[in-house]
A and B are shown apart, each in its own frame.
Chain A
Amino acid sequence: MAQNASTLFEKIWDSHEVLRKGADGPSLLYVDRHMVHEVTSPQAFEGLRANGRKVRRTDLTVATMDHNVPTTPGERRLPMADQTSDLQVRTLEENCREFGVRLFGMDSPDQGIVHVIGPQLGITLPGATIVCGDSHTSTHGAFGALAFGIGTSDVEHVLASQTVWMQKPKPLEIMIRGSMSVQRAVTAKDVILYVIRKIGTDGGAGHVAEYRGQAVSDMSTEQRMTICNMSIEAGARAGLVAPDEKTFEYLRGRTYTPENYEEMVSAWKKTLRTDSKASFAKRYEIDAGRIAPQVSWGTNPGMTCDVTEEVPDPAEYGGGDRSREDSARKALQYMGLEPGTPMTEIPLDRVFIGSCTNARLEDLVEASRAVRGQKIARGVRAMVVPGSQAVKRSAEEMGLDAVFKDAGFEWRESGCSMCLGMNPDILMPGERCASTSNRNFEGRQGTGGRTHLASPVMAAAAAVNGHFVDVREMDMQDGAV
């Protein structure tokens, strides 16, 4: 290994180290962008207040409310029906006012899921360190940023000092070779679900993953956001992709894109990539051409199979590991599934197209392809929750709202919504949902609810059919969008 050869992650890390405690100790990392939301911040602001501390850099801090907000048109105002949600939202408003933090509130045209609005407003930048009290902060890694989720104590620490202590993770390479076999039927969501299935929900623990290879280069910026988003589901501390022309173009001319942006782009082009002689602590290699549309059958994102497969037998899934077999058995019990059932024969009650994983404009365009001119199946309730109000407006300009509504979907305001059901959008016990979100944990979408993770086009096609179908066999047409 050459003396100075480094991975992209190491370069960003090293350039943000304020200091390190000894050779193997934790580093004090400087934070370029701190994003705050209403669920994980109240105790942090309270801690500042109790100790007479201020927010060190309000000019590097932004806040929005996304987890609790109602997505039903007309209900996005205070007081909210749920009093505890109401209190949390008001608390964020008051804290932002008191501490001088920029807030995109419930009525702001820029409101949205924090990981959707960051890039959309040009707050997310290549080479930056970005933190947020939310595990899906890894999404911003799609821009070549080092972005990771932190707990509330660290939120307070960053507010007070603009720094965070962290043990340096190890670099992990996830090489995705080849290209996705059937254009636009197999998506970035299928790639990342397949990766998690192969490397396991702790395959990336202690590491920062860099996604590389032809399939990643071919992906749009928004598709890269989908794969980086679910890095945490593979246990990785963060996930990132080296920035390229697509990245730079995406951020050009956004509200908060810096004035000297072109100068910064020139510098980034020279440095923000993994050196050819750099080495990774661990590597995985995936052939994109082998990936079929994926659907989860269990209660963690690694419990996923091809749509053409059957619900697995727990003993087979366990492969001799009793804990793994037990967890598969409990998962099937929770999910109400029998081994051997074809994935395409499981009837669905609900469809959710939304979340920081899959609710950007491209996701809605892809989903609309399976819906245009169709009606959702009898007995299915389906909703689209755009990732931000700006995504919603753009989609409406393209007429996508009409496509979904004509098919029988509900068309909502933006928020985290049924990804985790902190607002009124939840599953009832026993309800089964095809969801474009990121977690199929027990009770995630509502106590007793059953979640099947899938891509936007897979979820949309499932809404039309009342069960999953292999979208590679569908004749989808692009409308006049």
Chain B
Amino acid sequence: MEPFRTVRSVATPLDKINVDTDQIVPKQFLKLVQRSGFGRYLFYDWRYERGEGGSDGASVVPRPDFVLNDPRYKGSAILVTGENFGCGSSREHAVWALADYGFRAVIAPSFADIFYNNCFKNGVLPVTLERGEVRGMLKFGGDIEVDLEAGEVRMYSPGDPAAPPRVARFEIEPHRRTVLLEGLDEIAQTLKYEKEISEFEKRSGPTNGAIPPLSPDKPLGA
């Protein structure tokens, strides 16, 4: 996984609350069996109008009023949005689409739990900031810098880039922060606890975390 240290870019404002993962990547694109290439489907139904040719993407026209089609935000690596971002379906494809498109950080007043967790597995940093702060950023228009190590978001004045930035602080649980800063393979890290996992498996009793395995001699589909 790509480590996350610092990202600086213009921030894309998506002023909506409760953005669900069905909007982030619609279901017709969940049929791929690889992790890459989802960026072109990001916010698909909001981003494109359908021309002749149907929903398979054969003929689509960008909607000029959608923020991802606004040339001011081309190349942006930071998305700023409203409460409860990423609610609904657990599809990690939503994070793959954001990352593949180029977003490395998402700033919102709150995130849905599964989406929040999925971000950390893919080198995307979800930053939770106080609502008023986020509302300000939605209208900001200048460069924003997200620094995971320092736990700071810095807003650089568009009129005076040399002026000291406005700083907002955020917190990330330390274990997650380390995984992201180092770009660690989480499974490899976990497998170092082989002894602890094996010992857990030796426990017995239905209320001691040991539920019996599925009986292997039961025929399949019987």
What is the number of residues of chain A that contact chain B, defined by CB distance less than 8 Å? 101
Per-residue contact bits, chain B 179-195, to A (CB 8 Å; 1 contact, 0 not): 00000011110110100
Given contacts A59-B216, A165-B186, A442-B45, contact A151 B90 (CB under 8 A): yes
Partner of B209, one of A15, A167, A237, A326: A15
Please tell me if A386 contacts chain B, counting CB pairs below 8 Å: no
> How distant is A450 from chain B, measured CB to nearest CB, in Å?
14
Chain B residues, CB < 8 A from A115? none
State how many angstroms separate the Cβ of A324 from the closest Cβ of chain B.
Answer: 7
A422 to B26, CA, bound (A): 10
Q: Are B207 and A26 in contact (CB under 8 A)?
A: no
Those of B44-59 within 8 Å (CB) of chain A = 45, 50, 55
Q: How far is the CB of A57 from the nearest CB of chain B, in Å?
A: 7
Chain B nearest CB: distance from A377 CB in Å?
A: 28
List of B residues within 8 angstroms of A67 by Cβ: 30
Q: Which of A52-97 contact B (CB under 8 A)?
A: 53, 57, 59-60, 62, 67-68, 82, 84-85, 87-88, 91
What interface size band does chain B fall in? 35 or more
Residue interface bits B65-103, CB-to-A below 8 A is 1, else 0: 000000000000000001110011111110100000000
Among B15, B23, B33, the residue within 8 A (CB) of A87 is: B33
Partner of B30, one of A82, A87, A91, A422: A422
Contact status B193-A28, CB under 8 Å: yes
Number of A-B residue pairs having CB atoms within 8 Å of each other in the complex: 229
| A256 and B193 contact, CB distance less than 8 A | no
Please name all residues of chain B whose beta carbon is closer than 8 Å to the beta carbon of A256 when the two chains form the complex: 214-215, 218
Find out whether the CB atom of A39 lies under 8 angstroms from the CB atom of B118.
no
Interface contact B205-A267, CB-CB below 8 Å: yes
The reply on B114 being an interface residue by CB < 8 A is yes
| A135 with B88, Cβ < 8 A, contacts A163-B190, A324-B17, A443-B26 known | yes
B16, B110, B112, B190: the one within 8 Å of A157 (CB)? B190
- Chain A 1-21, CB within 8 Å of chain B: the 1/0 string? 000000000010001111101
The interface residues of chain A lying within 8 Å CB-to-CB of B201 are 30, 162
Closest chain A CB from B185 CB (angstroms)? 8
**Residues in B whose Cβ lies below 8 Å from that of A160:** 187, 190-191
Q: Which B residues are within 8 Å of any A CB, using their own CB?
A: 15-18, 20, 22-23, 26-28, 30-35, 45, 50, 55, 82-84, 87-93, 95, 110, 112-114, 117-118, 121-122, 173-176, 185-188, 190-191, 193, 196-197, 200-201, 205-209, 211-216, 218, 220-222
